[in-house]
Structure 1
Amino acid sequence: MVVSDVVIQILSKLPPQSLLRFKSVCKSWYHLINHPKFVTKHLLDSFPHKHVLIKRALTNHSGKQELVFSILKFSLNGSVSIMDINLTFQEIDPLLELCGHSHGLVCLSDCDDAFLVNPMTRQFHKLPPSILIFRGCHHDDPDYYAAAAVTIGFGASCKSTFDMYHEGIFYWWGEGEPRISETDHIITFDMSEEIFGKVSLPESFDNKKHKIVLRVLNKSIVLFVYPYKSNETNIGTYETIIGTDETNIDIWEMEKDEFGVVSWSKLLTIDPPFGVEHPLLFVSCEELLMESSEGHVIMYNTATQLFKKLPIEGDVTYAKPHRFEAHDLFIESLLLVEERRDMINYDF
């Protein structure tokens, strides 16, 4: 039976979870939904519909940690729908970092292992190990070499919430060199001109007292600057960071003049209630997702200054400072992580 163009148009507008169920309707629908041309059409039709993806770990009733993706869809009237996808992959550590996503595929890694995952189709594929080689020191042998991956992505950033691509330029964290009194900064790379640059941080930022997150708001780059809450180890400098009594979260907006000179202006200061600590990202001009110390996702409205707890919880036993990892512009897709026999497919 030939599938009509009208049916194809209708099916291409449906979410992946519906299409995966509809594959069992008949053979013609099964072959259509699996066809590469339909997968591509469905992806193109999905581009206007971008959502927020939150990755977290939960402990189930048997005491094992599960990898959970939550997809947040925001309507024009301000309401939000949340779809949770629990993935019980024994091969993937739920605590792996979400390094980025593209076309509905997510990259998870701890630098030793890296996986591509499609949360919608519940497929994953482990990537081959890195082939990067560096010269190491082993028993004073100058000819000793070893392979190691210290980061995933562009820029070699040790701060996973800081590297970002925006309007043709990639931004990532740059550590200052104490020997020449250089302060921490932002490194930029113009992809079209292939030019590196350096951007200073707001003067109020203190690496001994503050954390920092790079995000986008209204097509402008913004910085979340907020205080450390407890003793932690700074991965970049391997030193102990002492907590502070500060609570305010400052949001700075990047501005460029006609000559391209960058400056920062304080856009907003948030004084969150007790227990609300980490900003995640803006989901609209006025709404900001935040993380609480009790393991909840909080939505804050900057206009009304009201906080709303969303039904998204993370594992409070998770020792990492951020138990939630949030990314915007996520697209639902049917793309396969790899067309090979060893690809594992988890059915609904």
Structure 2
Amino acid sequence: MRFKCVRKSWYALFKNPEFVSKQVSNQIQCIKTTNKPTILLMETWFSHLFLHSYSNTRLAASKAKSDQVSVAVKRMKIASDDEDLPFLDVAGYCNGLIFLSSYGLDDIILVNPAIRELRHLPVSCIPDFLRVRRVGTVGFGYDLKADDYKVVMIWSFCDVYKYMVMERHPGFSPVEVYSLSSDSWTQINDYPYHNTNIRFQRCFNGVLYWLVNYPVVPLDLSLQLYIFAFDLSHQVFQRISMPVSIKIGNDTSWSLVVLNESLALFDCRGGDQRVFDLWVMENEFGVNGTWCKILSIGPLEGIARPLVFWGTDELLLGNDNNEVVLYDLTTKQIKNHLHASYKSYYVLADIYLSNLFSLKRAN
């Protein structure tokens, strides 16, 4: 970005949508061939967004014979000190853009840290009185066909209030889709599911995925778990069954990751000694397929959660002290504690990508 001040023609090039799109596409292709791409760990703390970047650098042969991990932490202010901004979580990441949302979805912000821009999304299009008695979940991703970034919001109401809503507004839909190119929300009617215990995981190949990540109360151990998926291009939902051997328990959790251009599922179980089973989905969106378990990690002591794969032979894990450690898939050992820690439980980790897309001129 420092080169945009060299010449006016260079500045205009960085503002060209075709150049911006090509730059993102080239980075994605480069990442696929890079063994150790830069990893970005994202978290919010009060009015700041913290970005921890992990890059693999090789020192001179006289100093070391192995790769060293360099850690850099940057901070971006998302609100002024006197601004009454609700506490925000990092709810999604796609193509270098970070998606922040408050607990009640009263405020949703898109952030591009590469050019230090942010954008507050407009208020949803549902009536004001309905927003008072609702909860919801959101998802953020890139529509490949429309070349557009979109946010999907799924509202849910308590059972008593839900009948009142349907009676007063028979055509009401609990699903809204925000288009960044038009800067507007629209309602869609395709949502045949009513499970509210879902948390957004990621966007992969133009599809948003939500996952049941905590049990329904009262605890039902016989409950079949599902993944909810939404195709951004065709705007349709699909329910994907999880592996039949996965069961709900008080000490279980799940997370979705990407491994070798495939969607993968971590089944995490255990207390002090955690075991992580990794399943890979053998089908694409819209096709009934199966899951295949490819590896089992652990038991590991003091490890809380998997974060992201780093290349094909390493996995970043978060421990009980909110520190990041490296796990070697070949030796099955934790080989390095990175010199960084995070404050929030709901941190998000993904492969770093620099995007020149300007949020200020999106509409």
TM-score (norm 1): 0.66
CA distance in 1 between partners of 2:253 and 2:123 (Å): 31
Relative to structure 1, the CA distance from residue 129 to residue 74 in structure 2 (aligned partners, 3 Å threshold; closer, same or farther) is: farther
Relative to structure 1, the CA distance from residue 301 to residue 279 in structure 2 (aligned partners, 3 Å threshold; closer, same or farther) is: same
Q: Which residue of 2 aligns with 1:300?
A: 327
Relative to structure 1, the CA distance from residue 33 to residue 283 in structure 2 (aligned partners, 3 Å threshold; closer, same or farther) is: same
CA distance in 2 between partners of 1:205 and 1:292 (Å): 23
Could you say which structure has the larger radius of gyration? 1
State which of 183, 195, 200 in structure 1 corresponds to 2:223.
183
Matched, 1:271 2:287: no
For residues 221-260 of structure 1, the aligned pairs below 5 Å read 221-227=263-269, 244-255=271-282, 260=288
CA distance in 1 between partners of 2:246 and 2:17 (Å): 52
State which of 51, 69, 75 in structure 1 corresponds to 2:51.
69
Q: Which residue of 2 aligns with 1:116?
A: 110
Q: Which residue of 1 aligns with 2:360?
A: 338
Amino acid in structure 2 at the alignment position of 1:121:
I
Mapped contact 2:50–2:75 kept (Cα < 8 A): yes
Matched, 1:220 2:262: yes
TM-score (norm 2): 0.63
Q: Which residue of 1 aligns with 2:97?
A: 105
State which of 312, 325, 334 in structure 1 corresponds to 2:348.
325
| Post-superposition offset of 1:288 | 0.6
Relative to structure 1, the CA distance from residue 269 to residue 134 in structure 2 (aligned partners, 3 Å threshold; closer, same or farther) is: farther
| Post-superposition offset of 1:43 | 3.5
Amino acid in structure 1 at the alignment position of 2:41:
I
Matched, 1:54 2:41: yes
Relative to structure 1, the CA distance from residue 27 to residue 159 in structure 2 (aligned partners, 3 Å threshold; closer, same or farther) is: same
**Alignment: residue pair count:** 285
CA distance in 1 between partners of 2:291 and 2:23 (Å): 42
Q: Equivalent residue of 2:311, what SS?
A: coil
Moved more, 279-288 or 166-175: 166-175
Q: Equivalent residue of 1:87, what SS?
A: strand
Q: Equivalent residue of 2:24, what SS?
A: helix
Q: Equivalent residue of 1:86, what SS?
A: strand
Q: Where in structure 2 are there 5+ consecutive unaligned residues?
A: 32-37, 59-65, 140-151, 155-195
Q: Equivalent residue of 1:250, what SS?
A: strand
Matched, 1:86 2:75: yes
CA distance in 1 between partners of 2:235 and 2:101 (Å): 30
| Post-superposition offset of 1:103 | 3.5
Structure (1 or 2) with the greater strand fraction: 2
Q: Which residue of 1 aligns with 2:136?
A: 150
Relative to structure 1, the CA distance from residue 181 to residue 129 in structure 2 (aligned partners, 3 Å threshold; closer, same or farther) is: same
CA distance in 2 between partners of 1:176 and 1:24 (Å): 55
CA distance in 2 between partners of 1:126 and 1:199 (Å): 35
CA distance in 2 between partners of 1:227 and 1:109 (Å): 28
Mapped contact 1:186–1:201 kept (Cα < 8 A): no
Q: Which residue of 1 aligns with 2:248?
A: 206
Relative to structure 1, the CA distance from residue 69 to residue 197 in structure 2 (aligned partners, 3 Å threshold; closer, same or farther) is: same
Q: Equivalent residue of 2:29, what SS?
A: coil
Relative to structure 1, the CA distance from residue 43 to residue 176 in structure 2 (aligned partners, 3 Å threshold; closer, same or farther) is: same
Relative to structure 1, the CA distance from residue 180 to residue 213 in structure 2 (aligned partners, 3 Å threshold; closer, same or farther) is: closer
Q: Equivalent residue of 1:211, what SS?
A: strand
Relative to structure 1, the CA distance from residue 75 to residue 121 in structure 2 (aligned partners, 3 Å threshold; closer, same or farther) is: same
Q: Which residue of 2 aligns with 1:241?
A: none
| Post-superposition offset of 1:31 | 4.6
CA distance in 2 between partners of 1:35 and 1:250 (Å): 45
Q: Equivalent residue of 2:137, what SS?
A: coil
Q: Equivalent residue of 2:360, what SS?
A: coil
Mapped contact 1:216–1:222 kept (Cα < 8 A): yes
| Post-superposition offset of 1:265 | 2.8
Amino acid in structure 2 at the alignment position of 1:116:
L
| Post-superposition offset of 1:333 | 1.6
Tell me the percent identity.
24
Q: CA RMSD in A?
A: 4.0
Mapped contact 2:257–2:265 kept (Cα < 8 A): yes
Amino acid in structure 2 at the alignment position of 1:115:
I
Q: Where in structure 1 are there 5+ consecutive unaligned residues?
A: 1-18, 59-63, 137-144, 229-243, 344-348
Mapped contact 1:286–1:303 kept (Cα < 8 A): yes
Q: Which residue of 1 aligns with 2:124?
A: 130
Q: Equivalent residue of 1:132, what SS?
A: coil
| Post-superposition offset of 1:115 | 0.5
